[in-house]
Amino acid sequence: MNVQTQIRAAEPVATEHFDVLIAGAGISGVGAAYHLTTQCPGTSFVVLETQKTFGGTWSTHRYPGIRSDSDLHTFGYRFKPWTSAPIASAAEILKYMGEVIEENDLNRHIRYRHTITAAKWSNETNLWTIDATRIDTGERLRFTTNFFWMCQGYYRHDAGYTPEWTDMAKFKGTVVHPQTWPDDLDYKGKRVVVIGSGATAATLIPAMAKDAGHVTMLQRSPTYFRTGRNAIEIAEELRRLQVDEAWIHEIVRRKILFEQDAFTKRTFADPEGAKKDLLAAVEAVLGKDYDIATHFTPSYRPWRQRIAFVPDADLFQAIKGGKASVVTDEIDRFTEKGILLKSGKELEADIIITATGFHLSANGGIDFEIDGKPLDFKDTVTYRGMMFTGVPNLVWVFGYFRASWTLRVDLVGDFVCRMLKHMKTTGVNKVTPALRPEDHNMPLLPWIDPENFNPGYMMRGMHLLPKRGDKPEWQHNQDYWAEKDEFPAIDLDDKAFVYG
Ligand SMILES: Cc1cc2nc3c(=O)[nH]c(=O)nc-3n(C[C@H](O)[C@H](O)[C@H](O)COP(=O)(O)OP(=O)(O)OC[C@H]3O[C@@H](n4cnc5c(N)ncnc54)[C@H](O)[C@@H]3O)c2cc1C
């Protein structure tokens, strides 16, 4: 019997009630707790978190060099200034989150090692019943809540995604997925092959190259990267002028967001120009003789997948210095000594790192029911990527891909608090998104348009996600610049919200 089955088998022993229950203490859950505390004082709430500490992504991932790939002025919350270099290590992000928890006395609301297993809504009581298990004691707990705020992220934390390659078992060395990094992995002087070319590979490779014998990045196809100094000039200048950090945070956020928006628009209006600029920055480090056409020139338009920032060009410096190299080829099969490529070449390795992505998870492994009927989110239509048709009193925080995730944590936080206050003043217990008469002939489409954004984990898991419509209300448009104005203007009396 696996742990989940055992967890589900035992009976709960206690029931507690909270106005709001938050799933997860990652950057979204901690942000949700902050907004509730500051915008809805007096609201009782609890945060249930599987892991033994806060941080989510930033405590799960422990591979060498783990860092953000977007700047912390926008990945940080709008309410707490970021005062260091823009690209930050997981340790720095955890320190920042720890300060938010400490400064706002949030710890008393968070219960660690609590896994939510089931969430059942009753239209009779207008409550969610949430079953959870303490993973340290096995104790079953039951909560009831008026409002369920899902901050459980978008991927499974227990295991990463590794494709099944032929003869993997034959390999005599060690295979590691970055999501489950062994603390005692010794790679000093070893030959390492990293399969993948996303942000994780770009982070791992320069960090490992310092001690490894050699690190090879094996990619099927290239990825775009941005590169530059890990510093923001205007922030440095304002600091020299002793400007208040809160001002610096706000000014730098606006500048970064403005520039990101301009760049995103350019990737649609002038994809070739944007591509040329990205590749020129790589060539500036690797030199004209390096085969950039093969190894760093993707076939897709920039921004169709997230573009990772490579601070101080460290990935390219490792390649230039000969400590790392890139092979663009396909895996035929594993061998005792390494990997046989489709080209016929064999890559020998002591350690193979599969930086091959995530398992998308829309529901945090939670079994959902509404009035005794199983709920599958793929059968719903999303209201602005945060609520779902037919699902009362529930919000899911799904951030941005092209901009920092946390920008949306703050926007959704404002929305939920406004909605909770509206429900309180109008004396209603339930809000359920529903298609309006004018929406009934609307085409129902996948969560995100693959023409617009198509990383592997989204493509593998799209069928699990709710549907989107073709109107702004019924989609997650990934556009912070539109949503920053649209969210505060959402009409809570719109017919898309059915109250009861
Ligand atoms: C290596 C890596 C680097 C990234 N870098 C960036 C970046 O630089 N910029 C950016 O914008 N985005 C980045 N992302 C995306 C990133 O995941 C999000 O930005 C953000 O950290 C997600 O925060 P979250 O709190 O929503 O979810 P998570 O960080 O996934 O946290 C969710 C939490 O919920 C808990 N949980 C899940 N299910 C349950 C359950 N059933 N019961 C109880 N608890 C549960 C989990 O244990 C976890 O702690 C990165 C992702 C990865 C993997």
Task: For 294-347, write each residue's pLDDT tens digit.
Answer: 999 998 888 777 788 999 999 999 999 999 999 999 999 999 999 999 999 999
Mean pLDDT, residues 102-113: 98
Residue nearest to atom 4 of ligand 1 (CA): 68
Is the C-beta atom of 365 inside 6 A of ligand 1? yes
Give yes or no: residues 346 and 402 share one domain. Answer: no
Is the C-beta atom of 200 inside 6 A of ligand 1? yes
Positive or negative: CA dihedral 478, 479, 480, 482: negative
Is the C-beta atom of 455 inside 6 A of ligand 1? no
Average pLDDT, the chain: 94
List for the chain the helix, strand, coil content (%; round to 5): 35, 20, 45
Rounded to the nearest whole angstrom, what is the distance from the C-alpha of residue 241 to the centroid of ligand 1? Answer: 36
Check residue 11 and give its pLDDT: 62
Give yes or no: residues 205 and 223 share one domain. Answer: yes
Is the C-beta atom of 22 inside 6 A of ligand 1? no
Residue nearest to atom 21 of ligand 1 (CA): 57
Is the C-beta atom of 363 inside 6 A of ligand 1? no
pTM of the entire predicted model: 0.94
Nearest residue to 325 via CA among 228, 225, 192? 192
Residue nearest to atom 18 of ligand 1 (CA): 405
Mean pLDDT, residues 489-497: 98
Q: Which of 52-66, 77-91, 258-272 has the lowest mean pLDDT?
A: 258-272
Give yes or no: residues 194 and 283 share one domain. Answer: yes
Check residue 115 and give its pLDDT: 97
Give yes or no: residues 337 and 401 share one domain. Answer: no
Is the C-beta atom of 366 inside 6 A of ligand 1? yes
Q: Which atom of ligand 1 is nearest to the CA of 30?
A: 25
Q: Does pLDDT of 438 surpass 90?
A: yes
Give yes or no: residues 385 and 348 share one domain. Answer: no
Rounded to the nearest whole angstrom, what is the distance from the C-alpha of residue 428 to the centroid of ligand 1? Answer: 32
For 30-45, how does the pLDDT look when each residue is reduced to its tens digit (9 = 90+)?
999 999 999 999 999 9
Rounded to the nearest whole angstrom, what is the distance from the C-alpha of residue 60 to the centroid of ligand 1? Answer: 9
Asked if 191 and 437 count as a contact pair (C-beta separation under 8 A), the reply is: no
Give yes or no: residues 313 and 380 share one domain. Answer: no
Give yes or no: residues 217 and 234 share one domain. Answer: yes
Mutate to test the pocket of ligand 1, among 152, 155, 305, 402 (most ligand atoms within 8 A of CB): 152
Give yes or no: residues 229 and 343 share one domain. Answer: yes
**Portion of the chain with pLDDT greater than 90, in percent:** 85
Rounded to the nearest whole angstrom, what is the distance from the C-alpha of residue 161 to the centroid of ligand 1? Answer: 15
Mutate to test the pocket of ligand 1, among 7, 51, 57 (most ligand atoms within 8 A of CB): 57
The residue from 307, 323, 354 where one domain ends is 354
Query: What span, in angstroms and rounded, lies between the C-alpha atoms of 201 and 184?
Result: 20
Tell me, yes or no, whether 173 lies in a domain: no
Asked if 406 and 74 count as a contact pair (C-beta separation under 8 A), the reply is: yes
Rounded to the nearest whole angstrom, what is the distance from the C-alpha of residue 39 to the centroid of ligand 1? Answer: 24
Tell me, yes or no, whether 101 lies in a domain: yes
* Residue 199 DSSP class: H
Residue 201 burial by Cβ neighbours in a 10 Å radius (0-12, 13-18, 19+): buried
Give yes or no: residues 22 and 57 share one domain. Answer: yes
Q: Which of 119-123, 146-150, 220-224, 346-350 has the lowest mean pLDDT?
A: 220-224
Q: Which atom of ligand 1 is nearest to the CA of 401?
A: 11
Is the C-beta atom of 115 inside 6 A of ligand 1? yes
Tell me, yes or no, whether 172 lies in a domain: no
Mutate to test the pocket of ligand 1, among 101, 405, 407, 412 (most ligand atoms within 8 A of CB): 405
Q: Which atom of ligand 1 is nearest to the CA of 153?
A: 27
Check residue 459 and give its pLDDT: 78
Positive or negative: CA dihedral 360, 366, 371, 374: positive
Check residue 449 and give its pLDDT: 79
Is the C-beta atom of 152 inside 6 A of ligand 1? yes
Domain total in the chain: 2
Q: Which atom of ligand 1 is nearest to the CA of 155?
A: 30
Query: What span, in angstroms and rounded, lies between the C-alpha atoms of 152 and 116?
Result: 10
**Portion of the chain with pLDDT greater than 70, in percent:** 97
Check residue 13 and give its pLDDT: 63
Rounded to the nearest whole angstrom, what is the distance from the C-alpha of residue 358 to the centroid of ligand 1? Answer: 11
Check residue 10 and give its pLDDT: 56
Check residue 1 and give its pLDDT: 40
Query: What span, in angstroms and rounded, lies between the C-alpha atoms of 500 and 185?
Result: 55
Q: Does pLDDT of 460 surpass 50?
A: yes
Tell me, yes or no, whether 169 lies in a domain: no
Asked if 217 and 228 count as a contact pair (C-beta separation under 8 A), the reply is: no
Q: What is the span of the domain harbouring residue 381? A: 3-157+359-499
Tell me, yes or no, whether 168 lies in a domain: no
Q: Which atom of ligand 1 is nearest to the CA of 203?
A: 1
Give yes or no: residues 192 and 206 share one domain. Answer: yes
Q: Does pLDDT of 2 surpass 60?
A: no
Helix axes 245-269, 271-286, angle to 10 degrees: 110
Rounded to the nearest whole angstrom, what is the distance from the C-alpha of residue 493 to the centroid of ligand 1? Answer: 32
Give yes or no: residues 83 and 196 share one domain. Answer: no
Is the C-beta atom of 148 inside 6 A of ligand 1? no
Residue nearest to atom 11 of ligand 1 (CA): 404
Q: Does pLDDT of 7 surpass 50?
A: no
Give yes or no: residues 152 and 105 share one domain. Answer: yes
Asked if 230 and 85 count as a contact pair (C-beta separation under 8 A), the reply is: yes
Of the pLDDT bands very low, low, confident and very high (cuts 50, 70, 90), residue 3 is very low
The residue from 354, 385, 412 where one domain ends is 354
Tell me, yes or no, whether 215 lies in a domain: yes
Is the C-beta atom of 48 inside 6 A of ligand 1? yes
Query: What span, in angstroms and rounded, lies between the C-alpha atoms of 164 and 80?
Result: 43
Rounded to the nearest whole angstrom, what is the distance from the C-alpha of residue 441 to the centroid of ligand 1? Answer: 35
* Two structure tokens written together for 54: 């806060």
Mean pLDDT, residues 245-263: 94
Tell me, yes or no, whether 170 lies in a domain: no
Is the C-beta atom of 196 inside 6 A of ligand 1? no
Check residue 264 and give its pLDDT: 87
Mean pLDDT, residues 218-241: 95
Tell me, yes or no, whether 165 lies in a domain: no
Asked if 144 and 392 count as a contact pair (C-beta separation under 8 A), the reply is: no
Query: What span, in angstroms and rounded, lies between the C-alpha atoms of 248 and 294?
Result: 41
Asked if 420 and 20 count as a contact pair (C-beta separation under 8 A), the reply is: yes
